[in-house]
Homo-oligomer: A and B are copies of this chain.
């Protein structure tokens, strides 16, 4: 995929997300970068703060979940596959408070790949992958999510 095509694909998925998931719009989420194997998503603090003035845990969970969803959505669309993609389970660790912009990333866990998911979808119309998502902190990650995401080909 060349840079123009990728840029247009990112813009389409972001528009789809903001148009179909009201919380994504309330959070003011945007896809900051997508490499094909990793995706970055960001959100300003103001709509995502808690009563302590730092980032709300639910906003961090939502951003990490949508970063994973968008990573798959972009990869599957590039393969011409229209899928319902959703999270099945997640383990989230909150390590330190975030006092500014939320900057999250999603990538495939060891042993998972877009390639294997696409093969499963073509063979059985469904599949799953494990993703590792993180919100940037001062030195290490401020929050991490390890989750299993499922995809089903739309009828």
Contact = CB atoms under 8 A, between A and B. Distances in A.
A22 B49 contact: yes
A47 B21 CA distance: 8
A86 to B, nearest CB: 7
Nearest to A87: B57
A74 B93 CA distance: 24
Interface stretch (A31-39, A58-66, A112-120): A58-66
Interface residues of A, number: 34
Given A57-B62, A59-B62, 12 more contacts: A20-B51, A21-B49, A22-B26, A22-B46, A22-B49, A23-B26, A23-B59, A52-B84, A57-B65, A58-B58, A58-B61, A92-B92
Per CB-CB distance, the 10 closest pairs between chain A and chain B, nearest first, are A58-B62, A26-B26, A20-B51, A61-B61, A89-B93, A57-B87, A22-B47, A58-B65, A90-B92, A57-B65
Interface of A: 16-17, 20-23, 26-27, 46-52, 56-59, 61-63, 65-66, 84, 86-94
